[in-house]
Structure 1
Amino acid sequence: MQTTSPDSRLPGKPAGFVLRACAWCIDAAIVLPLVCLATYLCTDPAAIWQAFLSLHRQVSKQAAIAAFDGLDFISFVQSLLSGANIQADARQLATRLLHMTFVFIAGFALASGLLNVWGETRAARGSIGKRHVGLMVVDADSGQGLSVSRSVLRQLAASLSWFSLNLGHLMAALPPDHTTLHDRLTRTRVIIRVPSSRN
């Protein structure tokens, strides 16, 4: 009967939430400027600004009318909600903002995923942020590095950690394994690199 747990075969101890969060912040700082630039190029910030100005003018005009007519606050709000021009401008602004948000989130997810796959499948076994704080990603059973397909699967599983309102990531704070939801789903571990390991 095998009494050795899989984690005992890993070349380092499990990394806690704080170290993993620091690594993520470093990676985010790397991809964020590129994602912001891509978002700017793929959307129309000037049109968003114009939509905001148009809505602002409509609201200001309605506020002036309300003040002139002596409307109370509730009546003023009702006039805003019933104004056809205001509704149209608000819909246009909301649509443009949602499009920009979608482009930003999709771009950030793609860039972060690629950075992680690139790092996890190399000899260092981790993204730039993980390498900087001394972490690496390994197979939970063998302690070996990940293949490209395994790393891609890990990035896809990580979306569940995000969609769970980050509860999947917060699981990394739980001892003794400090595994996130996507670690558990893909049988991977993030561990602290020991000085003697040769990767």
Structure 2
Amino acid sequence: MPPPERAPAGFWLRYAAWSLDAACLLPLVLLLGWPILGAAAEQAEAALRAVVAGMTQQLDSFVAAGQSPLAMALALLSDPRMTSAVGQLSSALTTLLLAPPLLYALLACLWSLAFESSRWQATPGKRAFGLIVADGHGNRLALPRVLTRFAAAGLSWLTLNLGHAMALLAPHLALHDRLSGTRVLADSARRVLPTWGRGWLLLQAIAGVLSVAWLFLALRDWTQTLLAQALGAA
């Protein structure tokens, strides 16, 4: 049987495939990163409690003494306990913000190297949608080319996804495709996003809205709890 005729895959097919791979990798990120993230979260909570408590105590004492807000600010900046708490909070937040994407990038690199250089020419997400990654002639990529493509994809992310958005327009090449001389190709008979793929995108949209709402409420409740504890201890 001759190989299927292929053409450049559109943006939404590519995004659906990427998000399916991401759904496979995120549990691994949480599993491997939990010891670091859990410790950083505990450090952040303890440091934030110390900052709030210190500011509350300083505020009470300065209001009672009738001193100016500027004097209070200078005292806070020179307080070694406050400086230490702020430093610990900054360190913990940096870990919480940077560790997950760095760990994800490492796993995604290994994921891409293993699958896109294989006879599949595709990660499991791309394979589920009938996509392959190839050079300009449709040939299988060697490991160095896959690595080059993955490194170039970093520029597509650093451009605030404008590099990915380039795939919206014909010939459907993202920035990293152009830089690495590669293509994402779809079976000509399967270039339309299937029904289950549309459902997958809808599920992501719903999950995104619910996640933002949950995060907002969780942060609000956490902040109120910390303030109440600090005021109660003052």
Seen in structure 2, the aligned counterparts of structure 1 residues 73 and 136 have a Cα distance that, compared at 3 Å, is: farther
Deviation string 1:30-58 (CA, Å, 9 cap, x unpaired) is 111111221123x2623541342233233
Match of 1:189 among 183, 207, 220: 183
Q: What is the alpha-carbon distance in structure 1 between the residues aligned to residue 182 and residue 72 of structure 2?
A: 53
Contact 1:15–1:192 at 8 Å: present in 2 too? yes
* Residue identity in the other structure for 2:111: L
Q: What is the alpha-carbon distance in structure 2 between the residues aligned to residue 40 and residue 59 of structure 1?
A: 26
Seen in structure 2, the aligned counterparts of structure 1 residues 47 and 101 have a Cα distance that, compared at 3 Å, is: closer
Match of 2:42 among 49, 63, 68: 49
Q: What is the alpha-carbon distance in structure 1 between the residues aligned to residue 186 and residue 71 of structure 2?
A: 59
Shift of 1:191: 1.5
Q: What is the alpha-carbon distance in structure 2 between the residues aligned to residue 73 and residue 170 of structure 1?
A: 52
Contact 1:14–1:189 at 8 Å: present in 2 too? yes
Shift of 1:60: 2.7
Match of 1:4 in 2: none
Match of 2:92 in 1: 96
* Residue identity in the other structure for 1:136: I
Please tell me whether residue 120 in structure 1 is matched to residue 116 in structure 2: yes
* Residue identity in the other structure for 1:156: A
Q: Which runs of 5+ in 1 are unaligned?
A: 1-9
Match of 1:177 in 2: 171
Match of 1:146, SS state, is: coil
Please tell me whether residue 110 in structure 1 is matched to residue 110 in structure 2: no
Deviates more, 1:153-162 or 1:57-66: 57-66
Seen in structure 2, the aligned counterparts of structure 1 residues 117 and 47 have a Cα distance that, compared at 3 Å, is: closer
TM-score using structure 2 length: 0.68
Q: What is the alpha-carbon distance in structure 2 between the residues aligned to residue 188 and residue 104 of structure 1?
A: 28
Match of 1:39 in 2: 33
Match of 2:144 in 1: 149
Match of 1:90, SS state, is: helix
**Aligned-residue identity in percent:** 35
Contact 2:9–2:185 at 8 Å: present in 1 too? yes
Deviation string 1:156-186 (CA, Å, 9 cap, x unpaired) is 1111112222221111112x11111110011
TM-score using structure 1 length: 0.78
- Between Structure 1 and Structure 2, the one with more helix by share is 2
Match of 1:159 among 139, 154, 158: 154
Match of 1:192, SS state, is: strand
Seen in structure 2, the aligned counterparts of structure 1 residues 145 and 74 have a Cα distance that, compared at 3 Å, is: farther
Shift of 1:81: 4.8
Contact 1:15–1:178 at 8 Å: present in 2 too? yes
Please tell me whether residue 58 in structure 1 is matched to residue 48 in structure 2: no
Seen in structure 2, the aligned counterparts of structure 1 residues 72 and 190 have a Cα distance that, compared at 3 Å, is: farther
Deviation string 1:101-145 (CA, Å, 9 cap, x unpaired) is 4332221111111112222122221111111122111112x1111
Match of 2:134, SS state, is: strand
What is the root-mean-square deviation in Å for CA atoms of aligned residues? 2.8
Match of 1:96, SS state, is: helix
